[in-house]
Amino acid sequence: MSRKRILVTGGAGFLGSHLCERLLNDGHDVICLDNFFTGSKENVVHLINNPYFELVRHDVISPFFAEVDEIYNLACPASPIHYQYNPIKTVKTSVMGAINMLGLAKRVKAKILQASTSEVYGDPQVHPQTEEYWGHVNPIGLRSCYDEGKRCAETLFVNYRYQNNVRIKIIRIFNTYGPRMSINDGRVVSNFIMQALNNEDITVYGDGSQTRSFQYVDDLVEGMIRMMGTNDDITGPFNLGNPKEFTILDLAEKVIRLTGSKSKIVFKELPSDDPIQRQPRIDLAKQHLNNWEPTVQLEEGLTKTIEYFTKFKNK
The string of pLDDT tens digits covering residues 146-174 is 999 999 999 999 999 999 999 999 999 99
pLDDT (average), residues 260-278 = 82
- What pLDDT does residue 44 have? 98
Q: What gap in Å lies between CA 236 and CA 41, rounded to an integer?
A: 31
DSSP 56-120: EE--TTS------SEEEE--S--SHHHHTTSHHHHHHHHHHHHHHHHHHHHHHT-EEEEEEEGGG
- More confident site: 311 or 150: 150
Is the pLDDT confidence value at 183 over 70? yes
- What pLDDT does residue 2 have? 87
Q: What gap in Å lies between CA 33 and CA 110, rounded to an integer?
A: 16
- What pLDDT does residue 272 have? 67
pLDDT (average), residues 212-229 = 96
* Active-site position among 72, 83, 146, 177: 146
Q: What percent of the chain has a predicted confidence (pLDDT) above 70?
A: 98
Question: Closest by alpha carbon to 92, among 61, 50, 59, 56?
Answer: 61
pLDDT (average), residues 175-189 = 90
What is the distance of C-alpha 130 from the center of its chain?
Answer: 18
pLDDT (average), residues 111-119 = 97
- What pLDDT does residue 211 have? 84
pLDDT (average), residues 252-272 = 91
CATH code of 5-175+215-242+278-295, in short, is 3.40.50.720
Domain residue ranges in the chain = 5-175+215-242+278-295
DSSP H stretches of helix in 199-245: 217-228
The string of pLDDT tens digits covering residues 3-40 is 999 999 999 999 999 999 999 999 999 999 999 999 99
- More confident site: 268 or 306: 306
Residue 184 pLDDT grade (very low, low, confident, very high; cuts 50, 70, 90): confident
Taking the model in full, what pTM does it have?
0.94
DSSP state for residue 13 in the 8-state scheme = S
Active site residue 216: no
pLDDT (average), residues 72-101 = 91
Is the pLDDT confidence value at 219 over 60? yes
51: Cβ–Cβ under 8 A, 6 or more apart, which residues?
A: none
Residue 44 identity: V
DSSP-derived pairing of the beta strands 70-73 and 53-57: unpaired
Q: Are 221 and 22 in contact (CB under 8 A)?
A: yes
